[in-house]
Amino acid sequence: DADEEDEEQDEDDDDDDEEHPASADSILPPPALCVTARISFRP
């Protein structure tokens, strides 16, 4: 049973790796918003 739990954790680790790229992609939009706020501040 303990061996089975170890295998399940391995799969969870893979899921975390897949979420990494998605997180980076999600971070891209925020910077764009910062630029928009900067432009709004100029005028």
pLDDT at 38 over 60: yes
Q: Where are the alpha helices (DSSP H) in the chain?
A: 2-27, 29-41
pLDDT of residue 2: 62
| pLDDT interval class at 19 (50, 70, 90) | low
Q: Kindly tell me if the per-residue pLDDT of 36 is higher than 60.
A: yes
Place of tokens 């005028």: 43
Domain boundaries, the chain: 2-41
- Lookup: tokens for 5: 């739990």
pLDDT band at 12 (very low <50, low <70, confident <90, very high): low
